[in-house]
Structure 1
């Protein structure tokens, strides 16, 4: 595996590891990933047909020895500092997609916050925004 992957692939890896944190990927999480790739400007030049292949590659890496750390190291090297808040926002989006953020996902979000060296105000704004979007009536 190379030292870096393209930005869009790294962002997909972040979504995949967030979804897989609790050992299950729900339909809502998968739908959210597809929706994100179709609609966000950061994915404008990404071929959406490759989403499944990129997600599968990430899944294969996760199956290797110390797979989560391998993926975390790879995305940390591959995502430039100015996109790390975007990566964290995508992780929060996927965690919130099934309206139930569990302990494993919370722990992964903490790891991402630390890896991406995000400030507390940025973290709070991203998390509050997700709460507002996913609030039930």
Structure 2
């Protein structure tokens, strides 16, 4: 189980990035960027990021598996930060504006487990799509 809310948030971002079976370099850079600039991570020692991410991968690949990793991460995150947790996961999956079936399934699993209403999760998803759009042409 992650020992802090920071670790829980990072675990969910790592699972989101790896949900399509591989974490791309751009996804990892996005995780690093979010940890480096988001106010929720102000007290987190970013030098520990790789260690926390590796712990998550070990958990997903080990006995607890994906469900256990998600449950453990959510158990470490206070209820008032569950919308933030969902927003961070969406940020990672929306990076390329194409969500694979695995990424969609992960977000669905996460939505089912968090205490955030459907309108809020829809708004988070819409905002992420808007942020990552590119100019046509």
Q: What range is the shorter-chain TM-score in?
A: over 0.9
Q: TM-score, normalised by structure 2?
A: 0.94
Deviations 1:84-110 (A, max 9, x none): 000000000000113321110000000
1:92·1:126 contact (CA, 8 Å) conserved in 2? yes
1:61·1:67 contact (CA, 8 Å) conserved in 2? yes
What stretches of structure 2 of length at least 5 have no aligned partner?
none
Q: TM-score, normalised by structure 1?
A: 0.94
Count residues with an aligned counterpart.
Answer: 135
Matched position secondary structure for 1:10: helix
1:34 aligns with 2:26: no
State which of 4, 7, 13 in structure 2 corresponds to 1:9. 7
2:97·2:129 contact (CA, 8 Å) conserved in 1? no
Distance 1:110 1:82 in 2: 20
Deviating 4+ runs (over 3 angstroms): none
Matched position secondary structure for 1:60: helix
Deviations 1:64-117 (A, max 9, x none): 134111111101211111000000000000001133211100000000001103
Please report the RMSD computed on the Cα atoms of aligned residues, expressed in angstroms: 1.1
Distance 2:60 2:119 in 1: 31
What stretches of structure 1 of length at least 5 have no aligned partner?
none
